[in-house]
């Protein structure tokens, strides 16, 4: 089956698939009684191209030393040759008889053979190229394995001289391979691992040098050896990861918290597809290690592990994992025998048969495990607090529905997370957080008792569910607030404990208390690092960040910090034991730099995950608390406390500067950037000296020297107030004040000048400067409606949202957020009042709203005015809805994976009106096209021509969605949001092209329905369709987020109008 993991393969297969699709269409038209055209010339052209391809292929085989290539490529070449002969025979038969059925059969078989044979040929060659890179990577691993024998400086020089060229070659080839891959995730994995190898190389050489110098000095090299071995292991792990990623050919665009059953069934399908190849490899004593069969066997084991990880029954999980481990051990033993040329020995043959038997048992175990998991109906709670709250909200919307306890479990986990975070909070916040946790738990227990007694649909249960939903949102908000305060406290200073450790390591030998001081500083440093990593993990889990990549990076970077921290302590200990060892000091410096790089990256990721204005506000509140503590210390005449708390004030101010600088660097809105930079100028330093902080610190020093000096006290208070004002100015610059309308509406017009026709004019709203921040603020005022003649206004509808705003939206994920209204319309027509003015009777019928033609109440419309002699009453405008398209969307069944993927995109896009939103309109169109493709693939009507045309339409729609997303990204002033949008949308055209090729492959299966090839084609088509729908769904979410920061002078217009969800009706 075709694979598309490289740009070269995709570029070759696409034109081949286009030509094959034309032959399929001609074949189908001939079945309707039409004569086939003369195909002699195009078939002859194909024959010449195939002959040339075969010649090049055999030349490659003859010149290659890759035994696997010599084994895998000839069958692909034979298939292409046979397919070209079938096409030639079909052409000759059709020339004699344009209606010949056997000729048409040969034509379709030849077309299928050309496409699949070419794909197999390209894959065999590409795998050969990958094996070349892997051999280079393994050469590096061999050098790393002999690191332990390098015990002299002469050995180190030779070691570095030999390692450098092979490492350089590996870097060059992996970098070139990364640029060739089509899957963005695979590219990012390679880049990350390669960067780690580059950074670790000098640290490793320094570690080896330190080991040699300590050993030569006659001291115990145990610590230096442990440090060196750690670095060798880290580099080896990264290179093994590079090797693993190089061999990947597919990628699933699964959701972060993808449904367990879906993932398990995908893995089950993978096992079924690869089982025959694995069995054939086991039965062939001469089969090569690393060939397709060997890879298939290991893929079967990997898929079995995926299934085991998601089993609800622990016994099923343990049994599968034990069997996988046994098979791996036996396969390793078999590979050793075959490498020694003993593949046909009785021992090897018996081992192969035993492995084959265990593989069959493993397949049965996975089938039973999936059936048990599906029968239990149990789903795992989401990995984040936001996801758990969403699951709980679904449960609370219908408490009488049996969700197998998922909603209740998610609610209790949110409570547990809240209590965990409360343990590290100061007393006022801790008390409030624990109170919300207790209240939420009490309501959960009450609702659970009612449900167990069969009263889940009772009025009492619904009332408790509504109250619990409110408490849950309050708890989620309080958790986020507590985490922001925790970030403000913990990340105020990330480097001081490391500096103290560094200073303690070089204290001269013989200094009193030297050992105790170093032990204390080591403990403080490790505790500090662990606390920062734990806080970052809590932010990723409960901080409300919806960027999957950011959250994953926080977890990875936190793990690196946890892994690196004890090694930094060990490096410091080596210096402590021998302060005069220059090599040890240089190695410690490298380790410190690596730790600081990781910690600064972690801090940046945490800042990206939390709201900037809220973080600055938390730091400002911390400055106020520290100010009070300084005042208390002055009253108590305690100089050490005065200095300590004044230093905290300075650190917090520096932290505010960091956040402000990040905001300014992230934005391309010149007015916003100028505003932030201007506000931060009072805190920013010239030549690295913070002008407004220095006076405060100097004043604090003066007070510390003489706490009773009133002049010194007044000088400090004045300087400190200046700093507080500067911090407040920065927060005001970063945050758009939602409580003040920066663009107030004009005064109301004279009632005598109003006309009834004005009521049917377009919606009017006010522009506002966009801001990245989304602060909570007072609700946007809504103009009252007349009791008998309600007039539609976008601001009076809680589901309405323009491009630059988040209006009150109780249906959105998370708490109800009130934001300033905003728009991108520059036409003076929209520079008016936010609500149409009241008019005296007679009343007129209102325009329809999204959730009903005559408004929310569904009552009869008001009586229209009587016509006069000269004019007829104005006709109400057409409904602003896309219900017609949604009504036509079919309901998916469990055995319709493509339809289910299309339905998931449809439900995501259904939240928004497609009026004035081309991205939503294109997404809804793609969902409908994919639903049609599902029906065609399942044989529910339509023809092969329809299948190919639908796939082509989907590919064209993919291009359109990408074009619209890139257009929106070009107007977004927030660099991070723009980057996120581009990352998710740029993979859509590639997946769309692949879908078009796979649909052609499926169309060529005429006469081969039910065969292994047909099943594989269907499986690949299903996986591709699911990936495409998921990518478009993520693009919709990223586009909605990016729309809050658009250039106000661009003229670009997009409207996000949330429709009323089904569960509120």
- Integer Cα distance of 620 and 649 in angstroms: 9
Q: pLDDT at position 779, please?
A: 39
Kindly report the length of the chain. 1065
998: pLDDT confidence band, cut at 50, 70 and 90? confident
780: helix, coil or strand?
coil
- Integer Cα distance of 908 and 112 in angstroms: 37
Sign of CA dihedral 920, 923, 929, 931: negative
Which range (35-39, 221-225, 227-231, 590-594) has the least confidence? 35-39
Instruction: Extract the runs of DSSP E, i.e. beta strands, from 753-894.
Output: none
- The residue that leads in pLDDT, 225 or 1010, is 225
Q: pLDDT at position 819, please?
A: 35
895, with CB counted inside 10 A (0-12, 13-18, 19+), is: exposed
Residue showing tokens 């590979």: 335
Residue showing tokens 């794909």: 119
SS3 of 437-470: the string is HHHHHHHHHHHHHHHHCCCCCCHHHHHHHHHHHH
Q: Please state, in angstroms and as integers, the Cα–Cα distance from residue 784 to each residue in 787, 808, 821, following that order.
A: 9, 16, 17
DSSP letter for 615, please: H
Q: Please state, in angstroms and as integers, the Cα–Cα distance from residue 256 to each residue in 381, 383, 1039, following that order.
A: 12, 8, 18
Q: pLDDT at position 469, please?
A: 92
SS3 of 48-91: the string is HHHHHHHHHHHHHHHHCCCHHHHHHHHHHHHHHHHHHHHHHHHH
Q: pLDDT at position 690, please?
A: 47
CA neighbor of 847 nearest in space, from 878, 815, 802 = 878
Q: pLDDT at position 3, please?
A: 65
Contacting residues for 305 by C-beta, under 8 A, at least 6 apart = 320, 321, 324
DSSP letter for 690, please: E
pLDDT in tens, 432-456: 999 999 999 999 999 999 998 988 8
- The residue that leads in pLDDT, 510 or 795, is 510
CA neighbor of 401 nearest in space, from 412, 416, 387, 391 = 391
Q: Please state, in angstroms and as integers, the Cα–Cα distance from residue 736 to each residue in 649, 659, 728, 806, following that order.
A: 25, 16, 13, 13
pLDDT of 550 higher than 80: yes
pLDDT in tens, 463-488: 999 999 999 999 999 999 999 999 99
CA neighbor of 482 nearest in space, from 615, 382, 660, 658 = 615
Kindly provide the b/e burial profile for residues 72-104, where b requires at least 16 CB atoms within 10 angstroms of the residue's own CB: bbeebbebbbebbebbbbbbebbeeeeebeebb
Residue showing tokens 């077309």: 111
Long-range contacts of 11-15 (CB under 8 A, 24+ apart): 12/118, 12/122, 13/115, 13/118, 13/119, 13/122, 13/997, 14/993, 14/996, 14/997
CB 568, CB 539: distance < 8 Å: no
pLDDT of 684 higher than 70: no
CA neighbor of 930 nearest in space, from 1059, 1024, 795 = 1024
Q: Please state, in angstroms and as integers, the Cα–Cα distance from residue 1020 to each residue in 270, 739, 998, 1034, following that order.
A: 10, 53, 7, 21
Q: pLDDT at position 944, please?
A: 83
CB 909, CB 920: distance < 8 Å: yes
Task: Give DSSP secondary structure letters for 697-746.
Answer: HHHHHHHHH-TT-HHHHHHHHHHHHHHHHHHHHHHHHHS--TTS-SSPPP
592: pLDDT confidence band, cut at 50, 70 and 90? very high
pLDDT of 18 higher than 70: yes
Q: pLDDT at position 293, please?
A: 84
Q: pLDDT at position 295, please?
A: 83
Q: pLDDT at position 138, please?
A: 93
Return the percentage of the chain with pLDDT > 90, whole number.
37
Return the percentage of the chain with pLDDT > 70, whole number.
82
pLDDT in tens, 118-149: 888 998 999 999 999 999 999 999 999 999 89
Contacting residues for 637 by C-beta, under 8 A, at least 6 apart = 707, 708
The verdict on whether omega for the bond into residue 842 sits within 30 degrees of 0, i.e. cis, is yes
Which range (185-194, 563-572, 737-746, 863-872) has the least confidence? 737-746
- Integer Cα distance of 690 and 649 in angstroms: 13
CB 939, CB 981: distance < 8 Å: no
634: pLDDT confidence band, cut at 50, 70 and 90? very high
- Measured at the CA of 714, the angle between CA 712 and CA 716, to 5 degrees, comes to 70
HSE toward the beta carbon, residue 1004, CA cutoff 13 A: 29
- Which run of H or of E encompasses 685? strand 685-686
Q: pLDDT at position 495, please?
A: 92
Most distant CA pair in the chain: distance in Å?
A: 115
CB 487, CB 615: distance < 8 Å: yes
498: helix, coil or strand?
helix
Q: pLDDT at position 862, please?
A: 53
- Integer Cα distance of 370 and 308 in angstroms: 9
pLDDT of 84 higher than 60: yes
Q: pLDDT at position 366, please?
A: 92
Q: Which two tokens stand for residue 797?
A: 């509808």
pLDDT in tens, 744-800: 444 444 444 444 344 334 443 333 333 333 333 333 333 333 333 333 333 333 333
CB 673, CB 667: distance < 8 Å: yes
CB 672, CB 730: distance < 8 Å: no
What value does the mean pLDDT of the chain take? 81
- The residue that leads in pLDDT, 378 or 159, is 159
Q: Which two tokens stand for residue 574?
A: 């080596």
pLDDT of 682 higher than 80: no
Q: pLDDT at position 101, please?
A: 86
Q: Which two tokens stand for residue 1039?
A: 């586009």
510: helix, coil or strand?
coil
CB 889, CB 906: distance < 8 Å: yes
Long-range contacts of 407-414 (CB under 8 A, 24+ apart): 408/444, 408/447, 408/448, 409/381, 410/381, 410/382, 411/440, 411/444, 411/468, 411/472, 412/441, 412/444, 413/381, 413/388, 414/385, 414/388, 414/389, 414/440, 414/472, 414/475, 414/476, 414/479
CA neighbor of 859 nearest in space, from 873, 879, 845, 877 = 845
pLDDT of 965 higher than 80: yes
Sign of CA dihedral 678, 683, 685, 686: positive
State mean pLDDT over 602-614.
92
Radius of gyration of the chain (CA): 34
pLDDT of 688 higher than 50: no
pLDDT of 4 higher than 60: yes
Cβ–Cβ contacts within 10 Å for residue 305, how many?
15
- Integer Cα distance of 1056 and 915 in angstroms: 9
- Integer Cα distance of 677 and 611 in angstroms: 19
Q: Which two tokens stand for residue 759?
A: 């009521």
Cβ–Cβ contacts within 10 Å for residue 46, how many?
22
220: pLDDT confidence band, cut at 50, 70 and 90? confident
- The residue that leads in pLDDT, 770 or 889, is 889
Which range (31-35, 195-199, 511-515) has the least confidence? 31-35
């Amino acid at each position: 089956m075709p694979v598309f993991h490289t740009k070269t393969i995709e570029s070759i297969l696409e034109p081949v698939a286009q030509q094959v699709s034309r032959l399929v269409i001609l074949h189908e038209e001939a079945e309707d009684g039409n004569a086939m055209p003369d195909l002699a010339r195009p078939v002859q052209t194909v024959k010449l191209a195939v002959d040339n391809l075969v010649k090049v292929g055999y030349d490659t085989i003859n010149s290659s030393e890759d035994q696997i290539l010599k084994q895998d490529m000839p069958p692909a070449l034979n298939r292409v040759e046979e397919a070209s002969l079938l096409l030639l025979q079909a052409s000759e038969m059709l020339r004699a008889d344009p209606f010949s059925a056997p000729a048409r059969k040969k034509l379709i078989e030849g077309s299928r053979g050309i496409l699949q044979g070419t794909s197999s040929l390209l894959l065999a060659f590409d795998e050969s190229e990958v094996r070349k890179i892997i051999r280079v990577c393994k050469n590096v691993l061999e050098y790393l394995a002999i690191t332990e024998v390098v015990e002299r400086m002469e050995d180190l020089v030779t070691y570095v001289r030999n390692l450098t060229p092979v490492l350089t070659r590996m870097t060059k080839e992996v970098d070139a391979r990364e640029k060739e891959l089509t899957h963005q995730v695979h590219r990012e994995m390679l880049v990350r691992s390669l960067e780690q190898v580059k950074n670790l190389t000098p640290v490793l050489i320094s570690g080896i040098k330190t080991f040699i110098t300590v050993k030569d000095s006659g001291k115990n090299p145990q610590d230096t050896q442990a440090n060196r071995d750690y670095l060798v292991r880290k580099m080896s792990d990264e290179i093994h990861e590079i090797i693993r990623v190089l061999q990947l050919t597919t990628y699933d665009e699964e959701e972060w918290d993808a449904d367990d059953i879906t993932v398990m069934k995908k893995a089950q399908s993978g096992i079924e597809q690869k089982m025959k190849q694995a069995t054939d490899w086991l039965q062939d004593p001469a089969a090569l290690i690393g060939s397709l069969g060997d890879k298939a066997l290991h893929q079967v084991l990997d898929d079995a592990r995926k299934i085991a990880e998601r089993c609800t029954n622990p016994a099923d999980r343990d049994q599968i994992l034990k069997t996988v481990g046994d098979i791996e051990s036996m396969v390793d033993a078999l590979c050793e025998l075959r490498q020694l040329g003993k593949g046909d020995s009785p021992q090897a043959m018996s081992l192969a048969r035993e492995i084959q038997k265990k593989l069959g048992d493993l397949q049965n175990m996975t089938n039973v495990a999936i059936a048990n998991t599906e029968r239990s109906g149990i789903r795992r709670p989401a990995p984040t607090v936001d996801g758990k709250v969403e699951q709980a909200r679904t449960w609370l919307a219908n408490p009488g529905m049996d969700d197998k306890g998922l909603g209740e479990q998610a609610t209790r986990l949110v409570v547990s997370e809240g209590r965990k975070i409360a343990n590290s909070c100061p007393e006022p916040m801790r008390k409030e957080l624990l109170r919300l946790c207790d209240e939420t738990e009490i309501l959960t227990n009450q609702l659970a008792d009612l449900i167990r007694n069969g009263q889940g649909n009772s009025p009492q249960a619904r009332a408790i569910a509504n109250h619990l939903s409110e408490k849950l949102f309050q708890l989620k908000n309080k958790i986020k607030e507590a985490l922001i305060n925790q970030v403000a406290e913990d990340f105020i200073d990330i480097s001081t404990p490391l500096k103290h450790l560094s200073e303690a390591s070089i204290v001269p030998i013989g200094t009193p208390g030297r050992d105790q001081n170093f032990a204390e500083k080591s403990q403080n440093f490790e505790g500090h690092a662990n606390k920062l990593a734990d806080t970052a993990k809590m932010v990723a889990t409960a901080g409300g960040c919806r960027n999957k990549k950011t959250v994953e990076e926080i977890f990875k970077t936190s793990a690196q910090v946890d892994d690196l921290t004890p090694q930094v302590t060990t490096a410091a200990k080596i210096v402590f034991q021998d302060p005069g060892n220059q090599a040890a000091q240089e190695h410690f410096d490298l380790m410190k730099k690596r730790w600081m790089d990781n910690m600064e990256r972690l801090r940046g990721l945490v800042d990206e995950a939390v709201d900037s204005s809220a973080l600055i506000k938390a730091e400002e509140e911390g400055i106020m608390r520290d100010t009070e503590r300084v005042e208390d210390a002055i009253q108590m005449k305690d100089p050490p406390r005065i200095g300590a708390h004044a230093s905290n004030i300075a650190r917090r101010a520096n932290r505010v500067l960091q956040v402000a600088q990040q905001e300014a660097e992230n934005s391309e809105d010149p007015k916003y950037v100028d505003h932030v930079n201007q506000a931060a100028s009072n805190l920013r330093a010239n030549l690295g000296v913070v002008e407004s902080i220095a006076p405060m610190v100097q004043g604090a020093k003066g007070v510390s020297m003489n706490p009773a000096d009133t002049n010194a006290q007044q000088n400090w208070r004045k300087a400190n107030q200046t700093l507080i004002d500067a911090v407040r100015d920065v927060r005001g610059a970063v945050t758009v004040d939602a409580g003040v309308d920066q663009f107030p509406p004009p005064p109301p017009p004279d009632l005598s000048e109003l006309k009834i026709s004005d009521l049917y004019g377009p919606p009017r709203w006010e522009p506002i400067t966009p801001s990245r921040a989304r602060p909570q603020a007072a609700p946007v005022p809504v103009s009252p409606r007349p009791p008998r003649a309600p007039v539609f206004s976008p601001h009076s509808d809680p589901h309405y949202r323009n491009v630059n705003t988040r209006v009150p939206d109780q249906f959105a994920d998370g708490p109800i957020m009130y934001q300033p209204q905003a728009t991108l319309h520059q036409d003076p027509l929209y520079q008016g009042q936010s609500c149409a003015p009241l008019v005296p009777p007679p009343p007129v019928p209102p325009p329809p709203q999204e959730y009903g033609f005559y408004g929310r109440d569904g009552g009869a419309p008001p009586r229209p005015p009587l016509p006069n002699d000269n004019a007829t009453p104005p006709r109400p405008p057409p409904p602003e809805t896309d219900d017609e398209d949604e009504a036509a969307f079919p309901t998916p069944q469990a055995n319709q994976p493509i339809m289910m993927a299309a339905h998931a995109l449809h439900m995501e896009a259904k939240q928004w009106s497609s009026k004035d939103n081309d991205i939503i309109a294109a997404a809804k169109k793609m969902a409908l096209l994919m639903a049609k493709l599902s029906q065609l693939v399942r044989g529910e009507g339509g023809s092969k021509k329809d299948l190919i045309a639908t796939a082509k339409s989907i590919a064209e729609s993919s291009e359109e969605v990408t074009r619209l997303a890139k257009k929106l990204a070009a107007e977004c002033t927030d660099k991070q949001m723009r980057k996120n949008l581009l990352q998710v949308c740029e993979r859509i055209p590639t997946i769309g092209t692949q879908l078009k090729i796979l649909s052609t492959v499926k169309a060529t299966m005429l006469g081969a329905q039910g065969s292994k090839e047909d099943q594989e084609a269907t499986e690949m088509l299903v996986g591709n369709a699911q990936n495409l729908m998921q990518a478009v769904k993520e693009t919709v979410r990223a586009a909605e987020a990016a729309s809050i920061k658009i250039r106000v002078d661009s003229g670009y217009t997009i409207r996000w109008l949330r429709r009323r969800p089904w569960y509120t009706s």
